[in-house]
Amino acid sequence: MWASQYYGIKLDGPTFVSNVIHWGVTVASRPPENRSSPSTTFTTAASPTNNQVVQPSSSQPATTSLDGVEKSSPVPALPLALGGILVLLIIGLVFLKGRSGGEKRANLNVPGFPPELLEGYEPLEFLGEGGFAKVFKVKRKKDGKTVALKIPHLTEKSRKSFTREVRAWSMLEHPNIVKLYRAEETPVPYLEMEFVEGAEVDGKLVRTLEELPKPVDEKTALELIRGIAEGLKHAHSKGITHRDLKPGNILLKADLTPKITDWGLAKIGTHSTTTTSGVTVLYAAPEQLDPETYGRTDPRTDIYQLGLIFYELLTGKLPYGEKGPASVIAKILNPEIKPKPPSAVRPELAKYDGLFEKLLAKRKEDRYESVEEFLEDLKLLERLEGERADLRGQIEELKKTIQVTTDRSEVQRLVRKLVEGLGRNAVLSARLNDKAGLISALEELREFTREERGEVERAIETVELLLREGLPISQELVERVEVLVDRIKREVER
């Protein structure tokens, strides 16, 4: 520092040497000045005359000027300049070495960060490592922006397709999708992307949906799954499919907003030595494990994986268990083994059973055709569920009122209103694919009919069969229930 202040030379890397040389050349080219040496002492016996020669007291060689007076010789400028250059070069090398050492020490604070990327990024934190890549929180040096760097482990084959496979990701702009800023193959393959801060849950930092304790309450589950679905909807509208949707690929903001990451990496993973078939088995769709039987992947593959995430959020489990890859694969591929409905884990989730029959259907053709269709059904379910909840409250109030009413005509009026409510409850349960709720509603209706009693019992048997087989209530059965309810209402009104 003192050298840079004293000589006016900046010790800032590449400019240092040129600054030193410029200074030295300036000094060397400066003409010598006619001045006496400041260290010379003159002694005289008396005041000198023009004919006297003054002798210097030092032993330095003297020169005679044109006026005949001897003066001390100046120190040669070139050796002085060269000496100065040498000193400053030494100072600069020490400075640059110190800077280099500082960078290395900073790199050691974040182990595993590629030294090749230190020129553009300052590593701040190691975020984690999976079978496919390491992830770091870094500061981009050109503008100070905090971003995330993903450093994938690639084979020679996957490295060639790396930037091609993730190029589509950079086209996605959505609040529920992690933004990709750049993807480079050199000096090492890396992805620069949006840094997502994570959320504090029960005093712990949760960065991904995988780390979030499950099950969560219904409201949180619905908010999360809607966000993920909206991100998928946007990507599918651009013709982009994820194919490896899983909790570990869902990052969380501080307010629990989900953001989907790692678009296009499933294909790269198929060429990587650190992954198996480029997909996580627990969240694999049948067509990913056996394309010959179930066909090729398409957007409905993402819908299946969306269903698995939703199921786990609600129940805290996966529909085929987690005993091991071989066991899970066998269950996924066996057409005779149906995924357990959420109500088998938590009975209060029966209203969602119908959604999961379509979300987790093994054949793609039996699933929702689009994410938008799923979102519409989810919205309808919430509306119908709200309506049914209000209706059930009214039914219970009617039952209590009938019990304390003594006027016969009033009782008949209340019974007609009760049957109307029970019938509406049955239809709503059928539309919600709530088989247990439909059976309960039909059993209550059976007590108010003689003419349609046999038809009601046959309807109950049909629904019980569907419940055992894990099959959805068809539109045909919904219409059959509507007709049956209408007949019972007319019978009661007579």
* Structural domain contains residue 61: no
| Residue 61: cis peptide before it, omega within 30 degrees of 0 | no
Looking at the fold, whether 89 and 154 belong to one and the same domain comes out as no
Question: Domain containing 218 — which CATH number?
Answer: 1.10.510.10
The answer on pLDDT for 11 being more than 80 is no
Looking at the fold, whether 472 and 446 belong to one and the same domain comes out as yes
The answer on pLDDT for 158 being more than 70 is yes
For 71-104, the three-class secondary structure string (H helix, E strand, C coil) is EECCCCHHHHHHHHHHHHHHHHHHHHHHHHHHHH
Higher pLDDT, 85 or 181: 181
Q: What residue numbers bound the domain in which 94 lies?
A: 1-32+71-108
Helix and strand counts by DSSP (H, E) for the chain: 17, 11
How do 146-152 and 70-72 pair as beta strands? unpaired
- Per-residue confidence (pLDDT) for residue 273, from 0 to 100: 34
Higher pLDDT, 340 or 304: 304
Looking at the fold, whether 232 and 137 belong to one and the same domain comes out as no
The answer on pLDDT for 34 being more than 80 is no
The 8-class DSSP code of residue 12 comes to S
Do residues 246 and 309 touch, judged by C-beta distance below 8 A?
Answer: yes
* Structural domain contains residue 39: no
Q: In percent, how much of the chain has pLDDT > 90?
A: 60
- Per-residue confidence (pLDDT) for residue 81, from 0 to 100: 58
**Sign of the CA dihedral running 249, 211, 377, 429:** positive
**Kind plus residue range of the DSSP H or E element containing 107:** helix 77-108
How do 180-184 and 70-72 pair as beta strands? unpaired
Q: Which of 60-74, 354-368, 457-471 has the lowest mean pLDDT?
A: 60-74
- Per-residue confidence (pLDDT) for residue 105, from 0 to 100: 47
The answer on pLDDT for 182 being more than 90 is yes
Higher pLDDT, 407 or 40: 407
Q: What is the mean pLDDT of the chain?
A: 82
Give the end of a domain, one of 313, 346, 372: 372
Looking at the fold, whether 173 and 320 belong to one and the same domain comes out as no
* Structural domain contains residue 134: yes
Average pLDDT over residues 96-108: 47
Q: Kindly indicate the confidence band of residue 79, based on its pLDDT and cuts at 50, 70 and 90.
A: low
Q: Kindly indicate the confidence band of residue 41, based on its pLDDT and cuts at 50, 70 and 90.
A: very low
Question: Domain containing 123 — which CATH number?
Answer: 3.30.200.20
Looking at the fold, whether 2 and 87 belong to one and the same domain comes out as yes
Looking at the fold, whether 368 and 220 belong to one and the same domain comes out as yes
pLDDT tens for 302-320 read 999 999 999 999 999 999 9
Instruction: Give, rounded to a whole angstrom, the gap between the first and last alpha carbons of the chain.
Output: 105
Q: Which of 81-90, 119-128, 398-407 has the lowest mean pLDDT?
A: 81-90
Write down the residue that tokens 């957007």 correspond to. 299
pTM above 0.75, yes or no: no
The answer on pLDDT for 464 being more than 80 is yes
CA distance 444 to 44: 138
Task: Report which residue type is found at 49.
Answer: T
Looking at the fold, whether 354 and 460 belong to one and the same domain comes out as no
Contacts of 461 (CB under 8 A, 6+ apart): none
Q: Kindly indicate the confidence band of residue 55, based on its pLDDT and cuts at 50, 70 and 90.
A: very low
- Per-residue confidence (pLDDT) for residue 190, from 0 to 100: 94
Higher pLDDT, 40 or 426: 426
- Per-residue confidence (pLDDT) for residue 317, from 0 to 100: 95
Looking at the fold, whether 337 and 485 belong to one and the same domain comes out as no
* Structural domain contains residue 53: no
Give the end of a domain, one of 143, 161, 194: 194
Half-sphere exposure of 64 (CA within 13 A, CB side): 5
Q: Which of 70-79, 99-108, 153-162, 288-297 has the lowest mean pLDDT?
A: 99-108
Instruction: Estimate the crossing angle of helix 435-446 against helix 408-431, to 10 degrees.
Output: 160
Looking at the fold, whether 397 and 355 belong to one and the same domain comes out as no
The answer on pLDDT for 272 being more than 60 is no
The answer on pLDDT for 409 being more than 90 is yes
* Structural domain contains residue 98: yes
Looking at the fold, whether 170 and 234 belong to one and the same domain comes out as no
- Per-residue confidence (pLDDT) for residue 474, from 0 to 100: 87
Q: Which of 57-71, 231-245, 319-333 has the lowest mean pLDDT?
A: 57-71
Looking at the fold, whether 358 and 392 belong to one and the same domain comes out as no
* Structural domain contains residue 21: yes
The answer on pLDDT for 187 being more than 50 is yes
Q: Kindly indicate the confidence band of residue 78, based on its pLDDT and cuts at 50, 70 and 90.
A: low
* Structural domain contains residue 58: no
How distant is the alpha carbon of residue 223 from its chain centre? 16
* Structural domain contains residue 332: yes
Overall number of domains in the chain: 4
List residues with catalytic annotation.
244
Give the end of a domain, one of 194, 223, 239: 194
Which of 212, 244, 199, 466 lies closest to 354 in space, CA to CA?
Answer: 466
Which of 347, 318, 493 lies closest to 419 in space, CA to CA?
Answer: 493
pLDDT tens for 226-248 read 999 999 999 999 999 999 999 99
Q: Kindly indicate the confidence band of residue 270, based on its pLDDT and cuts at 50, 70 and 90.
A: very low
φ, ψ dihedrals at 193, nearest 5°? -140, 170
Looking at the fold, whether 257 and 323 belong to one and the same domain comes out as yes
How distant is the alpha carbon of residue 112 from its chain centre? 21
Q: In percent, how much of the chain has pLDDT > 70?
A: 75
Q: Kindly indicate the confidence band of residue 173, based on its pLDDT and cuts at 50, 70 and 90.
A: very high
